[in-house]
Amino acid sequence: MASRGVRRLGVLAGVALIAAACVTINVYFPEAQIRDISKEIEQEVQKRAAEAAEPPADTEQDATSDSDGISGPTTAIRPAGLLDGLFGMPAYAAEDVPEPAVTNPAIRKIIDSRGRRAPLLAPYRKLGVIGEGRDGFLVVRKLDALGDLRKRAEVQKLVREENDDRRALYREIAAATNVDLSQIAKVAETYAATLREMAKPGEWIQLPDGRWVQKR
């Protein structure tokens, strides 16, 4: 009788272990929030890129006179954006200040760096030399399309620097949204959807299934 009871307990313990192994653990991942953040950040990167591509503007500031005849800069209040609240930055900006405060200092530095680099990457995007990978990083697709060895070295350097910035950006986003660092790859893949969406027509993008296509 005792041995039969022991066997029964052993069977029950085995069933319990199997059941525990089949339990699915839902890990927190704010996909919608990260998508919204990625769109706002990429919009800021595009603004920096447009500024970097334009010739230097006049350094003189526009001034307006008040009722006392005293001139001063015009200031406008900007509504708080998603990143303002997320990173605890002030929700105001002056019209004569070209850099709105939308992120924490680390992410703002990355935005500025990527914005300055974007015009340098643009010609290689148009040629199909580089493309947006499905993992959220730039990929060198056709380096042999460049006959000049110096240009090959340049594009490799630019891609390496861009991916370093993106890697740091994904870590900052994970920290800000309380996402475990073990899910950095998922943060990058979620961000990649925005990069594909905002790619320009004719540029190459990699779909989630691995296929490369030209953006239409």
Q: What tokens appear for 161 in the block?
A: 């620097």
pLDDT tens digit sequence for 113-171: 999 999 999 999 999 999 999 999 999 999 988 988 999 999 999 999 999 999 999 99
Q: Is 206 exposed, middle or buried (0-12, 13-18, 19+ CB in 10 A)?
A: buried
The number of helices, as runs of H, and strands, as runs of E, in the chain is 6, 6
Q: Is 6 exposed, middle or buried (0-12, 13-18, 19+ CB in 10 A)?
A: exposed
Q: Is 107 exposed, middle or buried (0-12, 13-18, 19+ CB in 10 A)?
A: buried
Residue-range domain boundaries for the chain: 30-53+71-209
Q: Is 66 exposed, middle or buried (0-12, 13-18, 19+ CB in 10 A)?
A: exposed
pLDDT value for 53: 83
φ, ψ for residue 204, nearest 5 deg? -95, 135
pLDDT tens digit sequence for 36-81: 999 999 999 999 999 988 766 554 444 344 434 434 433 333 334 5
Rounded to two decimals, what is the model's pTM? 0.71
Alpha carbons 168 and 181: distance in angstroms, whole number: 12
| Bridge pairing between strands 204-206 and 130-132 | parallel
Given a cut of 80, is residue 216 above it in pLDDT?
yes
Label residue 203 by pLDDT band (50, 70, 90): very high
Q: Tell me the C-alpha to C-alpha distance, in Å, between residue 36 and each of 82, 111, 141, 195.
A: 8, 16, 29, 12
Alpha carbons 166 and 157: distance in angstroms, whole number: 14
Alpha carbons 102 and 146: distance in angstroms, whole number: 38
**Percent of the chain whose pLDDT exceeds 70:** 65
Q: DSSP for 142-203?
A: -GGG---HHHHHHHHHHHHHHHHHHHHHHHHHHHHTT--GGGHHHHHHHHHHHHHHTPPTT-
Amino acid of residue 80: A
Query: Which of 21-35, 111-125, 132-146, 172-186 is the least confident region?
Result: 21-35
